[in-house]
A = this chain, B = another copy of it.
Amino acid sequence: MPKLVDHEERRNHIAEATWRVILNQGMKGATVRNIAREAGLSLGALRHYFSTQDELLVFAMKLVKDRATERIQQIAMSDLPPKDKILNIMLELVPLDENKMAEMEVWFAFTFYTRHKNDVLDAQHDGIYAGMKKLIDYMDHHHMLRNNLDKEIETEKLYALIDGIAIHALLEPHRVNKERIKAVLSQHLDSICAEG
Protein backbone atom coordinates (compact mmCIF):
# COMPACT_ATOMS: atom_id res chain seq x y z
CA MET A 1 0.00 0.00 0.00
CA PRO A 2 1.48 3.37 -0.92
CA LYS A 3 2.39 5.69 1.93
CA LEU A 4 -0.15 8.42 2.39
CA VAL A 5 1.47 11.83 2.32
CA ASP A 6 -0.41 14.93 3.22
CA HIS A 7 -0.15 17.19 0.19
CA GLU A 8 -0.11 20.46 2.11
CA GLU A 9 2.43 19.15 4.59
CA ARG A 10 4.72 18.08 1.76
CA ARG A 11 4.44 21.50 0.15
CA ASN A 12 5.35 23.15 3.48
CA HIS A 13 8.28 20.76 3.85
CA ILE A 14 9.54 21.83 0.42
CA ALA A 15 9.00 25.51 1.24
CA GLU A 16 11.10 25.09 4.38
CA ALA A 17 13.85 23.39 2.38
CA THR A 18 13.68 26.40 0.04
CA TRP A 19 14.28 28.80 2.91
CA ARG A 20 17.27 26.80 4.11
CA VAL A 21 18.80 26.81 0.64
CA ILE A 22 18.28 30.58 0.22
CA LEU A 23 19.66 31.12 3.70
CA ASN A 24 22.82 29.13 3.05
CA GLN A 25 23.50 29.89 -0.58
CA GLY A 26 21.54 33.03 -1.35
CA MET A 27 18.95 33.41 -4.08
CA LYS A 28 21.54 32.29 -6.62
CA GLY A 29 21.56 28.82 -5.08
CA ALA A 30 17.77 28.48 -5.00
CA THR A 31 17.57 26.20 -8.02
CA VAL A 32 14.95 23.48 -8.25
CA ARG A 33 17.77 20.94 -8.19
CA ASN A 34 19.31 22.25 -4.95
CA ILE A 35 15.92 22.57 -3.28
CA ALA A 36 14.98 18.99 -4.21
CA ARG A 37 18.26 17.75 -2.74
CA GLU A 38 17.73 19.74 0.49
CA ALA A 39 14.15 18.40 0.76
CA GLY A 40 15.35 14.84 0.16
CA LEU A 41 13.16 14.47 -2.94
CA SER A 42 13.79 13.59 -6.55
CA LEU A 43 13.43 16.35 -9.12
CA GLY A 44 10.34 14.57 -10.45
CA ALA A 45 8.71 14.39 -7.02
CA LEU A 46 9.38 18.08 -6.43
CA ARG A 47 7.92 18.97 -9.84
CA HIS A 48 4.79 17.09 -8.82
CA TYR A 49 4.21 19.76 -6.18
CA PHE A 50 5.63 22.80 -7.95
CA SER A 51 5.96 22.87 -11.70
CA THR A 52 8.25 25.93 -11.85
CA GLN A 53 10.91 27.49 -9.64
CA ASP A 54 8.92 30.73 -9.46
CA GLU A 55 5.80 28.93 -8.30
CA LEU A 56 7.85 27.37 -5.51
CA LEU A 57 9.44 30.65 -4.46
CA VAL A 58 6.09 32.43 -4.38
CA PHE A 59 4.67 29.65 -2.21
CA ALA A 60 7.63 29.77 0.17
CA MET A 61 7.16 33.52 0.53
CA LYS A 62 3.45 33.22 1.10
CA LEU A 63 4.10 30.73 3.89
CA VAL A 64 6.34 33.27 5.66
CA LYS A 65 3.62 35.85 5.37
CA ASP A 66 0.83 33.54 6.54
CA ARG A 67 2.78 32.46 9.59
CA ALA A 68 3.58 36.04 10.57
CA THR A 69 -0.06 37.05 10.08
CA GLU A 70 -1.17 34.19 12.29
CA ARG A 71 1.23 35.17 15.08
CA ILE A 72 0.06 38.78 14.88
CA GLN A 73 -3.61 37.84 15.00
CA GLN A 74 -2.97 35.82 18.14
CA ILE A 75 -1.43 38.87 19.82
CA ALA A 76 -4.24 41.12 18.58
CA MET A 77 -6.84 38.85 20.15
CA SER A 78 -4.97 38.43 23.45
CA ASP A 79 -5.87 40.11 26.73
CA LEU A 80 -2.79 42.33 26.80
CA PRO A 81 -3.26 46.05 27.57
CA PRO A 82 -3.39 48.10 24.32
CA LYS A 83 0.15 49.49 24.51
CA ASP A 84 1.72 46.07 25.22
CA LYS A 85 -0.28 44.65 22.36
CA ILE A 86 1.11 47.25 19.97
CA LEU A 87 4.69 46.71 21.13
CA ASN A 88 4.37 42.95 20.83
CA ILE A 89 2.99 43.21 17.32
CA MET A 90 5.86 45.50 16.36
CA LEU A 91 8.30 42.97 17.80
CA GLU A 92 6.74 40.22 15.68
CA LEU A 93 7.85 42.11 12.58
CA VAL A 94 11.55 42.16 13.41
CA PRO A 95 13.94 39.22 13.60
CA LEU A 96 14.36 38.47 17.31
CA ASP A 97 15.26 34.81 16.91
CA GLU A 98 16.95 32.47 14.44
CA ASN A 99 13.71 31.45 12.77
CA LYS A 100 12.51 34.95 12.12
CA MET A 101 16.02 35.90 11.02
CA ALA A 102 15.70 33.24 8.34
CA GLU A 103 12.23 34.38 7.31
CA MET A 104 13.40 37.97 7.01
CA GLU A 105 16.46 37.04 5.00
CA VAL A 106 14.37 35.06 2.55
CA TRP A 107 11.93 37.94 2.33
CA PHE A 108 14.67 40.43 1.44
CA ALA A 109 16.37 38.09 -1.00
CA PHE A 110 13.07 37.31 -2.67
CA THR A 111 12.01 40.96 -2.83
CA PHE A 112 15.17 41.98 -4.63
CA TYR A 113 15.18 38.89 -6.80
CA THR A 114 11.66 39.53 -8.08
CA ARG A 115 12.43 43.16 -8.90
CA HIS A 116 14.14 41.94 -12.04
CA LYS A 117 11.54 39.37 -12.94
CA ASN A 118 8.45 41.16 -14.11
CA ASP A 119 6.48 37.99 -14.61
CA VAL A 120 6.64 36.89 -10.98
CA LEU A 121 4.03 37.81 -8.42
CA ASP A 122 4.45 41.23 -6.96
CA ALA A 123 6.19 40.51 -3.67
CA GLN A 124 6.45 44.12 -2.71
CA HIS A 125 2.99 44.41 -1.34
CA ASP A 126 3.53 42.33 1.72
CA GLY A 127 0.76 44.04 3.65
CA ILE A 128 3.03 45.52 6.30
CA TYR A 129 2.23 49.12 5.36
CA ALA A 130 -1.49 48.30 5.67
CA GLY A 131 -0.74 46.63 9.02
CA MET A 132 1.08 49.74 10.28
CA LYS A 133 -1.91 51.83 9.27
CA LYS A 134 -4.16 49.57 11.32
CA LEU A 135 -1.87 49.91 14.35
CA ILE A 136 -1.88 53.70 14.17
CA ASP A 137 -5.68 53.74 13.67
CA TYR A 138 -6.08 51.40 16.64
CA MET A 139 -3.97 53.72 18.79
CA ASP A 140 -5.96 56.72 17.60
CA HIS A 141 -9.25 54.96 18.34
CA HIS A 142 -8.02 54.18 21.87
CA HIS A 143 -6.94 57.81 22.39
CA MET A 144 -3.36 56.70 22.88
CA LEU A 145 -1.69 59.05 20.38
CA ARG A 146 -0.25 62.44 21.23
CA ASN A 147 -2.23 65.42 19.96
CA ASN A 148 -1.41 66.90 16.58
CA LEU A 149 0.28 63.85 15.16
CA ASP A 150 -0.08 63.41 11.41
CA LYS A 151 -1.33 59.83 11.19
CA GLU A 152 -0.18 59.29 7.63
CA ILE A 153 3.36 60.45 8.37
CA GLU A 154 3.42 58.38 11.57
CA THR A 155 2.35 55.30 9.62
CA GLU A 156 5.11 55.78 7.05
CA LYS A 157 7.63 56.45 9.80
CA LEU A 158 6.71 53.39 11.84
CA TYR A 159 6.91 51.24 8.71
CA ALA A 160 10.36 52.62 7.80
CA LEU A 161 11.60 52.24 11.37
CA ILE A 162 10.51 48.60 11.60
CA ASP A 163 11.90 47.52 8.24
CA GLY A 164 15.08 49.52 8.84
CA ILE A 165 15.77 47.94 12.21
CA ALA A 166 14.87 44.53 10.77
CA ILE A 167 17.44 44.86 8.02
CA HIS A 168 20.07 46.09 10.49
CA ALA A 169 19.33 43.17 12.80
CA LEU A 170 20.16 40.89 9.87
CA LEU A 171 23.28 42.74 8.79
CA GLU A 172 24.72 43.79 12.14
CA PRO A 173 23.32 41.33 14.68
CA HIS A 174 25.96 42.09 17.30
CA ARG A 175 25.04 45.73 17.75
CA VAL A 176 21.40 45.41 16.75
CA ASN A 177 20.48 42.64 19.17
CA LYS A 178 17.21 41.81 20.91
CA GLU A 179 17.67 44.34 23.72
CA ARG A 180 18.60 47.11 21.32
CA ILE A 181 15.60 46.45 19.08
CA LYS A 182 13.23 46.38 22.03
CA ALA A 183 14.70 49.61 23.40
CA VAL A 184 14.32 51.42 20.06
CA LEU A 185 10.77 50.23 19.46
CA SER A 186 9.51 50.95 22.97
CA GLN A 187 11.16 54.35 22.88
CA HIS A 188 9.38 55.04 19.60
CA LEU A 189 6.07 53.87 20.97
CA ASP A 190 6.49 56.15 24.00
CA SER A 191 7.39 59.04 21.71
CA ILE A 192 4.08 58.87 19.85
CA CYS A 193 1.89 58.02 22.84
CA ALA A 194 0.24 60.66 25.01
CA GLU A 195 1.79 60.70 28.47
CA GLY A 196 0.33 58.91 31.46
Contact = CB atoms under 8 A, between A and B. Distances in A.
Given A26-B116, A112-B108, A116-B26, A157 B171 contact: no
Interface residues of A, number: 39
A14 B111 CA distance: 27
Which 10 interchain pairs have the tightest Cβ spacing? A164-B164, A160-B164, A26-B116, A160-B165, A163-B164, A124-B171, A153-B187, A157-B184, A156-B184, A161-B161
B172 A160 contact: no
A168 interface: yes
Interface of A: 24-29, 105, 108-109, 111-113, 115-116, 124, 129, 150, 153, 156-157, 159-165, 167-168, 171-172, 175-176, 180, 183-184, 187-188, 191
